[in-house]
Amino acid sequence: MKKTNAMRELDKQKIKYDFKEYEVDENDLSAIAVSIKTGEDITKIFKTLVLLTEKKEMLVACIPGADSVDLKKLAKVAGAKKVEMLELKELFNMTGYIRGGCSPIGIKKRHQTFIHESALNKDYIMISAGVRGMQIIIDPKELIKYLNMTVGDIIV
């Protein structure tokens, strides 16, 4: 197992985490597929979404795997007029990550980062380790503190 940039960043900050590897199906990179392959509860798997404000400022949002982001709620929490999903072709250039392997940790530059409030009810959550096929298992409170995440109701 090779450590990812996200894992090295957590190590450097002395933040405890574990990880779980799983087999990747290139045709199904969904959080639901991750849940099935890891045997983890889908409500503990948080997917990372990258969005842009009307001013083209990047936002990062972590939401439970089976849910959808509510663009209006996120815009309100972010203090933006509107937000939209980043085009997939821009993901690597903007974050250094690819679809199915985007982590909120280790993105090229720090951006406003949000997490759905349900994370606070979990003893741990799983987020991408920054590569397909590996998830970081972490205390959500540690993640929120480290990334200075805004917690709110940002799902449909």
How far, in Å, CA of 113 to CA of 151, rounded?
9
The answer for residues whose C-beta is within 8 angstroms of residue 98's C-beta and 6 or more apart is: 91, 92, 132
Token pair for 144: 């929120």
Number of H helices, E strands in the chain: 5, 8
Chain segment 12-56, per-residue pLDDT in tens: 999 999 999 999 999 999 999 999 999 999 999 999 999 999 999
Per-residue pLDDT reduced to its tens digit, 55-76: 999 999 999 999 999 999 999 9
1 falls in which pLDDT band (50, 70, 90)? confident
**Residue 116 CA neighbour count, 13 Å, CB half:** 25
Residue 60 is predicted with a pLDDT of 98
pLDDT tens for each residue of 94-151: 999 999 999 999 998 889 999 999 999 999 999 999 999 999 999 999 999 999 999 9
State the Cα–Cα distance between residues 116 and 26, nearest whole angstrom.
27
The pLDDT assigned to 81 comes to: 98
How many Å separate Cα 156 from the centre of its chain?
17
- The pLDDT, as a whole number, for residue 69 is 98
Q: Which domains does the chain have, with CATH numbers?
A: 5-152 (3.90.960.10)
Q: Report the candidate in 52, 128, 125, 120 with the shortest Cα–Cα distance to residue 87.
A: 52
What are the structure tokens assigned to 9, written together? Answer: 């960043």
